[in-house]
């Protein structure tokens, strides 16, 4: 974190410079600074840097008390507004303390100080998350686009997350070489969209993630959105059959329209095998119509033209028909992790834990066939078991015992599923997953 005093001064200085130049737009403001100034889906001028706004933007609990002793700062107690009594002194104070790297994460100040520092405004803009990825903008768009009757139906079908709301990070996910390669290609395709369009290469940017539950398909899609600073639009195909979705085909169309309006974004369609199941069954005509609308919408969306990266995911590739396969230009395999990957996953997930004699390689050898989400569940159980004994320090034996307990429960669960003829649900994710993750990766 940058120096708190510097952070407050930078916030006030940024608002001051922004107000003076009409050429700046919302995408020039650092993403953290925009929150206090959203109103009805837009950033309204002039920006008024209040104490509350500074607290929200910088995370500094008492911003005025922090900068009150500086010779160039002032505070209006009635309005709560922060300001400078000597702007030139404030600028020099800031330049004496902020390096070029910090400056290039603030497009407004990068442009303003371009003559005094070797900084690149275009780079700063590129680094900055666009305003249309902000939660406030997303909410205003959804409110504008759907009336109250439609909103409940759409919430069943679609989950829209802003980049800052996504906890998964690519650095915390163990990937295969193939997965890393495909992600790198997509990153480059997004960076060079204009070039790809100029050479007529438009059929790119539709990926299908294939693999068993718990292998990271949903996590990687979300982490990619976080890395790229893009809104994440997740479609829950199983909800098409919900009795509450009265006009499913229309809602599917609106889902794609929302993705296009939020673009650039990632549109993630989970449970894609549901499409094939529906097309080959005697489902209700309205549901079949919705699925046909879905396939048509997939055909009509494009990364190059619409700036929508489409990712489908399926746990059951054997159930997909040719019509489903041909709609994707890349298939990315998500196998169960091998021993080396399991050791890496265990190392990452236990980073914040205190474990005596921890040997991830030994545990990896004992967990053949377990997925990443299985390993996280094993560790969670080990932690909870230790807490029952009032311990926050674990041992290698605790983890080994948790593996044995997990395998025993898994065996019993599978026997129950066979007897009851139910579909097994595999809980996934880390210790902080929300309810949306439990039936996914």
Q: What is the DSSP string of 40-80?
A: TTEEPSSP--BHHHHHHHH--SSHHHHHTTSTTEEE-TTT-
Structure tokens at 285: 């005509």
pLDDT at 208: 94
Residue 20: half-sphere exposure toward Cβ, Cα within 13 Å: 11
Q: Within 10 A of 48 (CB to CB), how many other CB atoms are there?
A: 17
Determine contact, residues 276/324, Cβ cutoff 8 Å.
yes
In whole angstroms, give the CA distance from residue 381 to residue 406: 8
405-423: burial string, b at 16+ Cβ within 10 Å, e else: ebbeebeeeeeeeeeeeee
With the C-alpha atoms ordered 296, 439, 216, 410, is the resulting torsion angle positive or negative? negative
More confident residue, 321 or 217: 217
pLDDT at 409: 78
Residue 62 CB contacts under 8 Å (≥ 6 apart), including other chains: 55
More confident residue, 281 or 401: 401
pLDDT at 285: 74
For residues 366-386, give the mean pLDDT: 94
pLDDT at 157: 73
Q: Tell me: pLDDT of 44 over 90.
A: no
For residues 55-65, give the mean pLDDT: 95
Q: What is the C-alpha radius of gyration for the chain, rounded to an integer number of angstroms? A: 25
Q: Which residue has the tokens 């505070």?
A: 75
Q: Tell me: pLDDT of 432 over 60.
A: no
More confident residue, 250 or 355: 355
Whole-number percent of the chain with pLDDT over 90? 59
Average model confidence (pLDDT) across the chain? 86
pLDDT at 93: 97
pLDDT per residue over 116-152, tens digit each? 999 999 999 988 988 989 999 988 888 777 766 666 6
Structure tokens at 438: 């439990």
Q: Which helix (H) or strand (E) holds 298?
A: helix 285-300
Looking at 1.10.287.130, 3.20.20.140, 3.40.190.80, 1.10.8.60, the CATH number of the domain 339-437 comes to: 1.10.8.60
pLDDT at 240: 66
Helix (H, G, I), strand (E, B), or coil: what is residue 279? helix
pLDDT at 117: 94
Domain ranges of the chain: 4-128, 138-333, 339-437
Q: Which residue has the tokens 């094939």?
A: 276
pLDDT per residue over 322-360, tens digit each? 878 888 989 999 999 999 999 999 999 999 999 999 999
113-148: burial string, b at 16+ Cβ within 10 Å, e else: beeebebebeebeeebbbbbbbbbbbebbbeeebee
The CATH class for the domain spanning 138-333 reads alpha beta
pLDDT at 282: 60
Q: pTM for the full model?
A: 0.79
Task: State how far Cα 427 lies from the chain centre.
Answer: 20
Whole-number percent of the chain with pLDDT over 70? 86
pLDDT at 257: 86
* 123-129, Cβ contacts within 8 angstroms, sequence gap of 24 or more: 125/27, 125/28, 128/27, 128/28, 128/29, 128/30, 128/31, 129/31, 129/163, 129/164, 129/229
In whole angstroms, give the CA distance from residue 179 to residue 94: 43
> What are the CA-CA distances from residue 184 to residues 177, 178, 345, 439 (Å)?
11, 10, 21, 28
The DSSP bridge partners found for residue 310 are 206, 267
Q: Which residue has the tokens 């989400």?
A: 373
pLDDT at 434: 41
User: Are β-strands 42-43 and 38-39 bridged in parallel, bridged antiparallel, or unpaired?
Assistant: antiparallel
pLDDT per residue over 251-308, tens digit each? 788 888 889 988 889 999 998 887 766 666 666 677 777 778 888 999 999 898 899 9
């Amino acid at each position: 974190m940058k120096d708190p005093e510097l952070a407050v001064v930078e916030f006030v200085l940024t608002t001051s410079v922004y107000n003076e130049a009409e050429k700046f737009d919302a995408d020039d403001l650092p993403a953290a600074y925009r929150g206090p100034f959203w109103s009805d889906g837009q950033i309204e001028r002039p920006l008024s840097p209040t104490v509350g706004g500074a607290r929200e933007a910088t995370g500094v609990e008492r911003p005025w008390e922090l900068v009150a002793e500086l010779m160039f700062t002032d505070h209006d107690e009635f309005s709560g507004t922060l300001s400078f009594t000597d702007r030139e002194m404030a600028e020099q104070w800031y330049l004496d303390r902020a390096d070029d790297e910090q400056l290039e994460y603030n497009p407004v100040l990068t442009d303003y100080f371009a003559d005094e520092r070797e900084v690149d405004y275009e780079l700063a803009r590129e680094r900055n998350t666009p305003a249309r990825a902000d939660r406030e903008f997303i909410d205003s768009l959804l409110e504008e686009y759907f009336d109250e009757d439609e909103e409940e139906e759409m919430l069943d079908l679609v989950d829209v997350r802003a980049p800052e709301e996504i906890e998964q990070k690519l650095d915390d996910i163990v990937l295969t070489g193939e997965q890393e390669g495909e992600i790198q290609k997509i990153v480059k395709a997004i960076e060079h969209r204009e070039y790809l369009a100029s050479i007529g290469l438009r059929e790119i940017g539709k990926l299908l993630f294939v693999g068993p539950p718990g292998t990271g398909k949903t996590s990687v899609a979300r982490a990619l959105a976080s890395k790229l600073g893009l809104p994440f639009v997740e479609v829950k195909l199983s909800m098409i059959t919900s009795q509450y979705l009265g006009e499913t085909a229309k809602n599917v169309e609106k889902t794609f329209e929302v993705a296009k309006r939020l673009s650039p974004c990632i549109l993630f369609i989970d449970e894609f095998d549901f499409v094939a199941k529906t097309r080959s069954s005697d489902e209700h005509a309205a549901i079949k119509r919705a699925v046909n609308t879905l396939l048509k919408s997939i055909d009509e969306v494009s990364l190059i033209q619409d700036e929508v990266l489409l990712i489908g995911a399926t746990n059951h590739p054997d159930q997909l028909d040719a019509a489903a396969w041909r709609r994707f230009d890349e298939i990315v395999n998500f196998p169960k992790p091998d021993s080396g990957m399991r050791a890496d996953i265990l190392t990452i997930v236990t980073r914040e834990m205190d474990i005596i004699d921890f040997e991830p390689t030994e545990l990896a050898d004992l967990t053949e066939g377990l997925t990443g989400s299985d390993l996280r569940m094993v560790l969670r159980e080990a932690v909870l078991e230790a807490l029952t004994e009032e311990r926050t320090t674990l041992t290698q034996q605790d983890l080994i015992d948790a593996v044995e307990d997990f395998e025993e429960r898994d065996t019993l669960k599978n026997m129950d599923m066979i007897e009851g003829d139910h579909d097994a649900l595999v809980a996934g994710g880390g210790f902080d997953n929300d309810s949306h993750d439990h039936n996914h990766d």
